[in-house]
Structure 1
Amino acid sequence: MLETTLVALQDITLEKIFNDNGRKALFAELPQIMQQGFAYLQGGIALSSMGRPISYERAVAWKVLDEEENAHCLCFMFFNWTFV
């Protein structure tokens, strides 16, 4: 879905994936993600790294920890997505 390479994966930002509504929904869930480790996000519209819009029914966001147990990044998994 991301339409990217392993090398380019590190350059993907939230602005490149989520529209304003998607970012607002994510930011509302961010405290839960940081405390609990994950959160479910409601469906919406996102963009692949190639700029192609997709709709998704639901997403899961979770934090990834580094070797010292510090938050390293966030990962997302989109359910029932399709290009629109």
Structure 2
Amino acid sequence: MQAMPVFTFANQAGLDMLETTLVALQDVSLEKIFDEHGRKNLCSEFPQIMQQGFAFLQGGICLSTMGRPVSYEKAVAWKVLNEEDTAHCISFMFVNWSFV
């Protein structure tokens, strides 16, 4: 059984975009945020993120935890390494996001 990815940290802009708090952030899942197009885009770029260390994701629409659509121009995903230089997590940065 594979563990579901969880959000563990966000700056204030990320919390504002997701319309959540730092405490509630761990209950947010990628499936709730990305629509089908966004999930497919992330899955297609996942090998590049793991191999190259980062990838640029096409802009699109995601949802806040309140169900409000959020558009973003592009996103950057990158692999974060731990002390042993193995993958610890993936970080996201959404560029030019706004509520639709």
- Please classify the TM superposition score into its range, dividing by the shorter chain length: 0.7 to 0.9
Shift of 1:11: 2.5
Task: Give TM-score, length-normalised by structure 1.
Answer: 0.86
Q: What residue is the counterpart of 1:3 in the other structure?
A: 19
Residue 42 of structure 1, CA deviation = 0.6
Out of 59, 78, 99, the residue aligned to residue 62 of structure 1 is 78
**1:29 corresponds to:** 45
Count of matched residue pairs: 84
Instruction: Give 5+ residue unaligned stretches, structure 1.
Output: none
Normalising by structure 2, what TM-score?
A: 0.74
1:43 and 2:62 are equivalent in the alignment:
no
Q: Spell out, residue by residue over 1:12-65, the C-alpha distance to the aligned partner (whole angstroms, 9 max, x if none).
A: 211011000000011010001011111100111101122211111111011222
Q: Distance in 2 between matches of 1:70 and 1:7?
A: 27
Computed over aligned residues only, the root mean square deviation of the Cα atoms, in angstroms, reads: 1.4
Asked whether 1:72 is paired with 2:88, we answer: yes
Aligned partners of 1:67 and 1:8: how far apart in 2?
A: 27
Structure 2: tracts of 5 or more residues without a match:
1-16
Distance 1:50 1:66 in 2: 33
- Structure number with the higher strand fraction is 1
